[in-house]
Amino acid sequence: MALKAKQEKFCNEYLVDLNATQAAIRAGYSAKTARNVGCENLTKPYISARIAELQAESQKKHGVSRESILRELEEARTAALTSETPQASAAASATVHKAKLLGLYDSPEDIELKRLEIERKKLEIAKLKRESESIGSDHPITRMEVVIVGENNQNDPNASAG
């Protein structure tokens, strides 16, 4: 599927800092809706595939890999800790960057998005409960779709594709 111009720009801008909200703004989306648009764009398979494609091109062009970056970050962390005057903040920064690269770190924005999604789901459940109570016990809820927001489980065969 061919991407629209703004979507292509979003993909390129996302690679700048991996911040979907800022990428959406830089791509020309409204600042008011950038957070939602950025999050939505990352869930679209053709957009995430394009981002992965651009990342692979960049890695090949610059001769870097996840392993080489992890190695450099570990060297920087070790040097910061073993220097004549240890630099704890530099070592901590290298550790955080390694955690981000390994997917072990949630940014404050990621945490807030997850919190908001959970709150939205709670409100939906409360609404369904109110609706079922107003209908009465003659029509019980027999099926409810639940979407869990979290890490991308593309490699998990049990993860829903939809």
Q: What's the pTM value of the predicted model, to 2 decimals?
A: 0.48
Q: What is the mean pLDDT of residues 119-145?
A: 76
Residue 80 amino acid letter? A
Mean pLDDT of the chain: 84
Contact by Cβ (8 Å): 15, 58 = yes
Q: DSSP for 117-160, please give it.
A: HHHHHHHHHHHHHHHHHHH-TTS----------SS--TT-TTS-
Q: Is the pLDDT of residue 156 over 60?
A: no
Q: Is the pLDDT of residue 139 over 80?
A: no
Question: Phi and psi at residue 158, in whole multiples of 5°?
Answer: -90, -5
Q: Hey, how many other C-beta atoms are within 10 angstroms of the C-beta on 51?
A: 19
CATH of 1-63, one of 3.30.2310.20, 1.10.10.1400, 3.40.50.2020, 1.10.287.610: 1.10.10.1400
Least confident piece of the model among 18-27, 105-114, 122-131, 140-149: 140-149
- pLDDT tens digits, 5-62: 999 999 999 999 999 999 999 999 999 999 999 999 999 999 999 999 999 998 888 8
Question: Phi and psi at residue 114, in whole multiples of 5°?
Answer: -65, -40
Determine the pLDDT at residue 19. Answer: 94
Determine the pLDDT at residue 162. Answer: 44
Going by pLDDT thresholds of 50, 70 and 90, the confidence category of residue 161 is very low
Kindly give, in sequence order, each residue whose CB lies less than 8 Å from that of residue 76, ignoring residues fewer than 6 positions away.
90, 94
Determine the pLDDT at residue 113. Answer: 84
Determine the pLDDT at residue 96. Answer: 87
Q: DSSP for 25-86, please give it.
A: HHTT--TTTHHHHHHHHHHSHHHHHHHHHHHHHHHHHHT--HHHHHHHHHHHHHHHHHSSS-
